[in-house]
């Protein structure tokens, strides 16, 4: 038996079966194949190269988000909640028919038809004018919400998402016509519904024929109203897109100030002037409210604040006319329940008091 000076000199177990050493060429082949497989894997899983259109959409990640078009009418989605379209929500143990134990099945609220107004937040105005315009926008939203609608203020983001925006960009036109185009593009992106100027407000009872018709949401044709111009429009998505396409194909951009000048008159169904709608445009203010018109000439911010107060007083007068019999307060035990009636009396006095 051979003698070894140390354990390290002793041959191992695998020395009796020596492995074949790989040649450098074979090692290079394995390395190249592994590199090709890695390149194919990285290329297949990588995101596609962004185009110029994608880059334009992400040029300002902090810009205003665009509203999503409303859901289809045959769905049961309302906001972030999905409701049952059957009567199982009447079950007193509603958590037994839901997947979420922390949510109860409630009856769906009454659907509100959206009404849209366009407001350009990128317009160059000072802070005082912007604050006054925001006050008018708030009055517009409150007035239409009280009549059973869902007011939505659109902006440039919705217009840029419209597929016809690229056709609009290559056209040269005046600023006023371009602003009207952006308004229509934003409306077309949202689909069927009502487009309103944010100076158009409802001034009539809840059961007015026009307001009831608009709440039903049956906009079969592109409709405008006599005396309101483009202040109030209604129509379905197909009609709006067709009207936009006709306007973009027109060649009278230099002589037009509104989209209505570019669209053939037969495209619209013109209804009579409504009595329950008020439009506080520049011509109406100049004819009927000369004090506010002069104030707008001197200081736009101050004039808009006066206009906001005027609109608020008109809305309050409309409310009082709708309830001409007054406001009743329930008092089952009048002699001993005055402290309970006090909040109701305070609310009633606030409702009938003239706004400041």
Residue-wise pLDDT for 255-270, tens only, equals: 788 888 888 888 899 9
Share the mean pLDDT of the chain. Answer: 79
Task: Report how far apart, in Å, the C-alpha atoms of 307 and of each of 98, 303, 313, 324 are.
Answer: 50, 6, 10, 26
Mean pLDDT of 196-214: 93
* Res 8 pLDDT > 90: no
User: Once rounded to an integer, what is the mean pLDDT over residues 297-311?
Assistant: 93
Q: Check residue 122 and give its pLDDT.
A: 79
pLDDT band at residue 202 under the 50/70/90 scheme: very high
pLDDT value, residue 171 = 83
258's CB contacts (< 8 A; 6+ apart) are 176, 177, 180, 229, 230
Identify the CA nearest to 181 among candidates 112, 241, 95, 258.
258
286 near 293, Cβ under 8 Å? yes
Q: What is the pLDDT of residue 220?
A: 85
Write the pLDDT tens digit of every residue in 30-89. 787 777 777 776 666 555 544 444 434 444 544 556 667 766 554 444 444 444 445 555
Tell me the per-residue pLDDT of 211-243, one tens digit each, with 9 for 90 and over: 999 999 888 889 999 999 899 999 999 999 999
What sections of 191-329 are H helices per DSSP? 209-216, 237-249, 282-288, 290-298, 300-322
Least confidently predicted of 4-8, 185-189, 294-298: 4-8
Query: What is the per-residue pLDDT for 306?
Result: 94
Banded model confidence at residue 184, pLDDT cuts 50, 70, 90: very high
Given pLDDT bands bounded at 50, 70 and 90, which one contains residue 123? confident
How many alpha carbons lie under 13 Å from residue 303 in its C-beta half-sphere? 17
**pLDDT, position 173:** 83
Give the pLDDT score at 3. 56
Asked if the model's pLDDT at residue 115 lies above 60, the reply is yes
Quickly state the pLDDT bin for 154 (edges 50, 70, 90): very high
pLDDT of 64 reads 57
pLDDT of residue 63: 54
Q: What is the pTM of this model?
A: 0.72
């Amino acid at each position: 038996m051979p003698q070894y000076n140390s354990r390290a000199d002793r041959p191992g177990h695998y020395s009796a079966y020596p492995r074949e050493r790989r040649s450098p060429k074979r090692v290079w082949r394995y390395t190249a194949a592994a590199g090709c497989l890695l390149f194919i894997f990285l290329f297949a899983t990588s995101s596609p190269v962004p185009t110029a259109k994608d880059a334009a959409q992400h040029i300002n990640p902090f810009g205003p988000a665009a509203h999503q078009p409303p859901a289809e009418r045959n769905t049961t989605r309302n906001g972030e909640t999905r409701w049952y379209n059957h009567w199982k929500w009447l079950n007193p143990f509603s958590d037994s028919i839901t997947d979420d134990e922390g949510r109860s099945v409630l009856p769906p609220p009454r659907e509100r038809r959206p009404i849209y107004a366009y407001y350009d937040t990128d317009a160059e105005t000072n802070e005082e004018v912007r604050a006054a315009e925001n006050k008018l926008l708030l009055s517009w939203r409150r007035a239409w919400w009280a009549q059973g609608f869902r007011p939505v203020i659109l902006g440039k983001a919705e217009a840029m998402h419209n597929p016809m925006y690229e056709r609009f960009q290559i056209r040269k036109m005046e600023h006023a016509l371009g602003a009207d185009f952006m308004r229509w593009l934003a409306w077309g992106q949202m689909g069927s519904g009502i487009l309103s100027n944010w100076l158009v407000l409802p001034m009539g009872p809840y059961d007015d024929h026009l307001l009831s018709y608009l709440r039903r949401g049956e906009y079969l044709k592109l409709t405008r109203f006599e005396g309101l111009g483009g202040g109030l429009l209604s129509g379905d998505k197909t009609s709006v897109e067709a009207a936009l396409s006709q306007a973009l194909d027109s060649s009278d951009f230099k002589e037009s100030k509104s989209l209505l000048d570019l669209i053939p008159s037969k495209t619209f169904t013109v209804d009579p002037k409504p009595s329950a709608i008020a439009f506080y445009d520049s011509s109406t203010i100049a004819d009927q409210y000369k004090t506010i018109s002069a104030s707008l000439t001197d200081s736009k911010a101050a004039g808009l604040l006066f206009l906001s107060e005027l609109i608020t007083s008109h809305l309050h007068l409309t409310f009082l006319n709708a309830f001409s019999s007054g406001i009743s307060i329930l008092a089952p035990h009048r002699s001993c329940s005055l402290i309970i009636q006090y909040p109701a009396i305070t609310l009633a006095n606030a409702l009938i008091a003239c706004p400041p």
